[in-house]
Amino acid sequence: MFASNVYIERRKRLISDIGSGLILFLGNELSPMNYPDNQYPFRQDSSFLYFFGLNCPGLAAVIDTDQGAECVFGDDLTVDDIIWMGPQPLLKEKCQAVGISETAPLDQLQPLLDRAVDQDRQIHFLPQYRPENVLKIQELLDIHQTVIPDHVSEPLIRAVVAQRSFKSDEEIAQIEAALDMSYEMQTTAMKMSKPGVCEREVAAAMEQIVLARDGRLSFPTIFSIHGETLHNHYHGNIMSAGDIAVNDSGAETPLGYASDITRTIPVSGKFSQRQKEIYAIVFESQTTAIEASKPGVEVRDVHRLASEVLVSGLKDLGLVKGDVSQAVEAGVHTLFFQCGLGHMMGLDVHDMEGLGEDYVGYTDTIKRNPEFGWRSLRLGKALEPGFVITVEPGLYFIPELIDRWKAERKNIQFVSYDAVEKYKDFGGIRIEDDILVTEDGPRMLGGPIPRTIDEVEAMSS
Ligand code: GLY
């Protein structure tokens, strides 16, 4: 964990931002896989980690903003627990390390909240994404689970987003530690991706890299020769000469910080001419988008710019015709680029998505565009120094989508369907990096991972 002062200062600011009432944070529990004692690896809630740094199950915390008091609720291990799990520091000892002096057994949480409700005090809590914590809120606050979303605290969401959006130096160091693992993952995948190798061998090698470094995956690995499927988690294909494999993968440090990198790998070691042409378009789109990612610039404008570069490149190849900006205005890019340009990244790979994407990526005046493609843009608002974002344009040739648009004669004035038809077996290409927005402009985080055609081919051969 970070020095105790980091957590103390974060909570101090939260108290000042919220101003009155109690703040209730629920930590996560162990989740059973197939029977109660066989559990998924524990993952603490990211906001709990951010404000309390305590990475163990069975905890809750209450901050009384009127009194400036903080208490963590949890039970120490019994001897019966210790027999199976070994000895662990007492809760009090763990809490001292994050600047909390008051702890209490879990069964004291309910009476404390009951007293607050009796006194008509406001109890702020965040949106819940785990069923067991939904049930806890239902029981602790007597709010039926179906209406809990109506009772979450918007001021608390906004206050948490206001802090977590801006990464401190120690957080950047963590993200760069995750990116060191990404370097190993990506370069290993480049070296291993050969004809005859099964995708799951590469996915397994990448997971081995993070586990051996006391990390874990920051999200389930996307590694596939069918990169046209945006989130393809099937790893059962045997790679063949001429295939390209999209490797969208990430690591998480022991403190919970993520990396998220995508490279597209030629299985033969060399891209074909046609693959090079599409790769070069995506590369130019990404480079242009990264250069544009400066403070004050709205990401929805960067997304449009990246889309224009994609459409312009496709026009040069004869897949698109007409005026490029009019084509993007008409949504032509979404036939080939169906998702958003990127998202914030930090303690969650899609940072704070559990708090509500629109609180993180949009504002009261910059609203999400509900149209196909645009609606998947998680981050649209203006960039500020301290934001860490991904920049991940791609070109995806999805046969079913092409067939549908062609049958509907959609955007027929802009799309040369006969030419597009020839790419239905192409797959997809995505290139993604993690960027820190600074006063001086964008900074690509981590050591350089092969990205140009020459660099990727050299590592893959
Ligand atoms: N890299 C996976 C995602 O952004 O969803």
Q: Are residue 16 and residue 81 in the same domain, yes or no?
A: yes
Q: At what angle do helices 109-118 and 131-141 cross, to 10 degrees?
A: 50
DSSP reduced 3-state for 394: strand
Q: Atom 4 (ligand 1): residue with closest C-alpha?
A: 350
DSSP, residue by residue, 43-79: ---HHHHHHH----SS-EEEEETTTTEEEEE--PPPH
Q: What is the CATH number of the domain that holds 11?
A: 3.40.350.10
249 CA: nearest ligand 1 atom: 1
Q: Are residue 372 and residue 247 in the same domain, yes or no?
A: yes
230 lines ligand 1 (CB under 6 A): no
Residue type, 323: D
Domain count, the chain: 2
Is residue 142 classed exposed, middle or buried when 0-12, 13-18 and 19+ CB atoms within 10 A define those classes? Answer: exposed
Tokens 């704070």 label which residue?
352
433 lines ligand 1 (CB under 6 A): no
**Tens-of-pLDDT digits for all 461 residues of the chain?**
999 999 999 999 999 999 999 999 999 999 999 999 999 999 999 999 999 999 999 999 999 999 999 999 999 999 999 999 999 999 999 999 999 999 999 999 999 999 999 999 999 999 999 999 999 999 999 999 999 999 999 999 999 999 999 999 999 999 999 999 999 999 999 999 999 999 999 999 999 999 999 999 999 999 999 999 999 899 999 999 999 999 999 999 999 999 999 999 999 999 999 999 999 999 999 999 999 999 999 999 999 999 999 999 999 999 999 999 999 999 999 999 999 999 999 999 999 999 999 999 999 999 999 999 999 999 999 999 999 999 999 999 999 999 999 999 999 999 999 999 999 999 999 999 999 999 999 999 999 999 999 999 999 98
Model pTM score: 0.96
Query: What spacing in Å lies between the alpha carbon of 29 and ligand 1's midpoint?
Result: 25
Q: End of a domain among 164, 190, 214?
A: 164
DSSP, residue by residue, 204-266: HHHHHHHHHTT-EESS--EEES-TTSTT-----PBP-TT-EEEEEE-EE-TT--B--EEEEEE
Q: Are residue 239 and residue 372 in the same domain, yes or no?
A: yes
Query: What spacing in Å lies between the alpha carbon of 116 and ligand 1's midpoint?
Result: 41
Instruction: Return the number of other C-beta atoms located less than 10 Å from residue 138's C-beta.
Output: 16
First to last CA, the chain: 40
Is residue 2 classed exposed, middle or buried when 0-12, 13-18 and 19+ CB atoms within 10 A define those classes? Answer: middle
Specify the pLDDT at position 149.
Answer: 96
260 lines ligand 1 (CB under 6 A): yes
CB contact set of 442 (below 8 Å; sequence gap of 6+): 290, 291, 293, 294, 435, 436
Specify the pLDDT at position 289.
Answer: 98
349 CA: nearest ligand 1 atom: 4
Contact, 109 vs 140, CB < 8 A? yes
Q: How far apart are CA 30 and CA 21, in angstroms?
A: 29
* Ligand 1 pocket mutation pick from 186, 223, 247, 260 by most atoms within 8 angstroms of CB: 260
Q: How far apart are CA 174 and CA 347, in angstroms?
A: 10
Q: How far apart are CA 407 and CA 143, in angstroms?
A: 49
Query: What spacing in Å lies between the alpha carbon of 260 and ligand 1's midpoint?
Result: 7
Q: How far is CA 452 from CA 63, 76, 276, 286, in A?
A: 50, 53, 10, 11
Q: What is the CATH number of the domain that holds 186?
A: 3.90.230.10
Q: Are residue 197 and residue 83 in the same domain, yes or no?
A: no
Q: Are residue 158 and residue 173 in the same domain, yes or no?
A: no
Specify the pLDDT at position 365.
Answer: 96
219 CA: nearest ligand 1 atom: 2
Q: Are residue 194 and residue 150 in the same domain, yes or no?
A: no
Query: What spacing in Å lies between the alpha carbon of 32 and ligand 1's midpoint?
Result: 25
Q: Are residue 75 and residue 220 in the same domain, yes or no?
A: no
Q: How far is CA 247 from CA 174, 211, 372, in A?
A: 22, 18, 25
DSSP, residue by residue, 381-397: SB--TT-EEEE--EEE-
Q: Are residue 442 and residue 325 in the same domain, yes or no?
A: yes
Tokens 């990612």 label which residue?
293
42 lines ligand 1 (CB under 6 A): no
Q: Are residue 129 and residue 16 in the same domain, yes or no?
A: yes
From 207, 285, 190, select the one nearest 250 (Cα to Cα).
207
Q: Are residue 156 and residue 188 in the same domain, yes or no?
A: no
Query: What spacing in Å lies between the alpha carbon of 228 and ligand 1's midpoint?
Result: 14
248 lines ligand 1 (CB under 6 A): yes
Q: Are residue 353 and residue 283 in the same domain, yes or no?
A: yes
Print the domain residue range for 177. 169-460
CA angle 349, 352, 166 (to 5 degrees): 90
Q: End of a domain among 164, 191, 208?
A: 164
219 lines ligand 1 (CB under 6 A): yes
Query: What spacing in Å lies between the alpha carbon of 367 and ligand 1's midpoint?
Result: 22
Query: What spacing in Å lies between the alpha carbon of 263 and ligand 1's midpoint?
Result: 12
Q: Are residue 188 and residue 211 in the same domain, yes or no?
A: yes
Q: End of a domain among 164, 179, 212?
A: 164
